[in-house]
Structure 1
Amino acid sequence: MTKDKSNDGDGEKPKDGILSVDPALKQAMEELRKLLVNTAFQIPEVDQSEKMLTALVTHAFYAAHGIDVGSLKAELEFSDAELAELDAIIADNAAKMRNTPRWLLSNPRHQNRGEDALEAVPFKEWRLRHKLEYPILWMALPAMLTASFLSAKSALLSSGLPVYVENPILMAAVASIPGFGAIMLKSLGSLFASDAAQKRYAFGIFGMAAGALGVWAVTFADSFHGIGGGTLDIFSDKPVWKEKLLVGAQLAFEFFGSTAIYLRIERLSKAYDPDTWFRNLEFDGFEDIDSQKTEERADLRKVVAHMRGVQISQHSALDLQIELALASLRAKRARGNDPTL
């Protein structure tokens, strides 16, 4: 008698869905297989008898193990749905993490942290080169803003447009745009999260200022006839584009130059009075959720993988029963109607 490899014979039904029967039920199943083979043997046509035997063995298998197979299938469907839900939660949480800053700029007093270690360095303890540079920058900044205002105002006056000539307040407001633009550009650099990005932004501003200064120097020199007795011949007998280029380069230099001075002052200030950054509690909450749900998903995937393995073993056990029954039927046909088979 061929041994049924789908039976463990431990006498108990395991909780993980692996098929197992006690010895008495195992003997009954073997007797049932003999009965099914003998029933199918009565059909003369080979194909029909084998189809009938396959169907009978399948029904008998599910009659004995249908509860285990069905419960395992239901558990798998539930676990798959739970996995999909976890995937959605993790993806949504990851999107929130991407849109939430990890660190927040804050005053140490707001966080009840020790402030002694975060005090600013007094100006008298600064490096000598910075002591000299810092006040020079503060004097250069209003001078640059004033020059920008006067340059823009002169350009508006020289245009001769009544809307500016007859309305000095409007002319002053328009002439102030380069100064306000410099403040805006300086503030824009603070939006970059990393120090490296802020440095690249500052280098870009300094580069724009240097480029504008170079263009202004060339166009200004082209309008000047020299030092000895020459006259400054700005805009006389010059193409219109050169006039516009000279004024544009001057305004651009004053615009980007003011921003560059702003950034340098800010850089020195941060060196001796650095910003204080604290962990964003909202981001920490998202991070905890991500860690928890990712761990849950990993554990559930292990359970699902094990259940799929059990499901494969169940299908293999059914296939084995069918093949054993068909082998018995074919052997019985080869030997004839031998009741001792």
Structure 2
Amino acid sequence: MTKNLIAAGAILVATMHPVAAQQTAFSDAVNVWLSGDDTNGLPALAVDARNGDTTAQLILGQVDRDTIPAGYSDFLLGLTREERAALLRFADDDGATVNWLLTLQGTDNAALGDALFWYEANLDPIDSAANLQAVDEKSTAEWVLWRTLNNGYFDRIQSLPAENPELAQVGFMTWLTDYFASENRTISMNRFLDDERPAKVPGLLALKRLERVLGLSGNFSVGLNELIEVIRGRGNRLPVTADLVTLEASLTRLGEVDPRVGVVNRLCDICPDTVADYQCRIETFEIIGGYETLLAVRSPAEAAVPADVYLASDRAVTSLTNLVRGRAPADLTRVRSSCLQSLIVADQ
């Protein structure tokens, strides 16, 4: 099956002008993949990768290495393990396969490949974040730092300004610095929604993680605490008095500033205007496991696709859709949102 798909991509390349074939095919392949089409995009990228295109190699390497659990598309799930390896990985003369990230040529490319491939295996997350920052993979570096704080390793985060001053400048860290520099540390729902900084959501969640350590429990309004529960993926724990209409509207506003939340909003655009579904955004966070998972919906490699381009693409919505379908309960009666029920059923 995979051989036929790759052959089809090869025919596409062969029909182009020989001199411009690689660059034109690369642009087409990336655009098709960014449209959310794995069936045509991945085979085209595989052709480019085998022709020596580093960008295609980066994308395929990360799809193979760093796809979020339960995040494979139907196309990839329909392949055998051997077919997936043949499609996504480099094959040597003996038929053995290896991730493309470990084959990149040149000192800079090799450093980039190593940083992306090994960051999850490194026992020192700060070292991983520094390596990623050094090769300009800033979104992944921020994700590693945020997860480190969220997992309770506050001491490692505290040492950042002295050891790695550049890491202290990532989005949510800057938001935290500004918060602690402010004289007014009480945050109401309106104050938070009026904040125009894109890093405010991961910043707020990091602050909430520090709540008990720093004695901040009185700094969050009731409405904001409910919003935090939703963003953490705990919408099913909301009190019966929670205003779902206001919470959904708040998520819509957050998506205008935070492009990751914006991906959730775009997914929930499937809801017909005639349907009043106040659970779609709330339950999307719940199903995928909260904002922590949403942080992992990012460009596979910023050297290949800039972070903002990826989040604005249909690929980001497709990736989130795959996660919702892959992590949704088997019993659809447990899904409160009729819009999400329709989305999940469409895959069955």
Does TM, scored on the shorter chain, surpass 0.5? Answer: no
TM (normalized to structure 1)?
Answer: 0.19
Higher relative contact order, structure no. (Cα contacts within 8 Å, ≥ 6 residues apart): 1
Q: Which has the larger radius of gyration?
A: 1
Which one has a larger percent helix, Structure 1 or Structure 2? 1
